[in-house]
Amino acid sequence: YITWRLVENNVHHLSADFQHQKKIFTNFISQEESSHLYDTRWRHCVEVCNYHLGFALGSLFARQKLSQETRNEMEDIVNSIRRTLINRLPWLQWLDETTKSHLQTLIIDMNSEIGFPEFITDVDRLNSYYYYFNVYADRYFMNVMNGYVDKRRRSFSQLYNDIGTEYWDDDLLPQRTIINYNAIYNSLTLSTGIVQSPLFMGHGLTRSYLMGSFGTLIFRNYFEY
Query: Taking 60 as the threshold, does the pLDDT of residue 126 lie above it?
Result: yes
Pairwise CA distance, residues 70 & 65, whole Å: 10
Q: Is residue 113 pLDDT above 70, yes or no? A: yes
The predicted pLDDT at position 150 comes to 93
User: What is the model's pLDDT at position 105?
Assistant: 93
What is the structure's pLDDT at 129? Answer: 92
- Residue 213 burial by Cβ neighbours in a 10 Å radius (0-12, 13-18, 19+): middle
Mean pLDDT of the chain: 84
Q: What is the enclosing helix (H) or strand (E) of 182?
A: strand 179-182
Please choose, from the candidates 53, 71, 29, 75, the residue with its C-alpha nearest in 3D space to the C-alpha of residue 151: 53
With the C-alpha atoms ordered 16, 17, 21, 27, is the resulting torsion angle positive or negative? positive
Please tell me the total number of residues recorded for the chain in this structure. 225
CA distance 174 to 154: 19
Q: Specify whether the CB–CB gap between 65 and 196 falls below 8 A.
A: yes
Who contacts 119 (Cβ-Cβ below 8 Å, separation ≥6)?
55, 125, 126, 129, 166
Whether the predicted pLDDT of 48 surpasses 80? yes
pLDDT of residue 57: 93
- For the stretch 158-216, pLDDT in tens is 777 765 555 677 788 999 988 888 888 888 888 998 888 776 665 567 777 777 777 78
Residue 128 pLDDT: 92
Whole-number pLDDT of residue 142 = 92
Rounded distance between C-alpha atoms, residue 83 and residue 98, angstroms: 19
Residues with Cβ within 8 Å of residue 222, at least 6 apart in sequence? 81, 110, 181, 188
Q: If you average pLDDT over residues 67-91, what whole number do you get?
A: 88
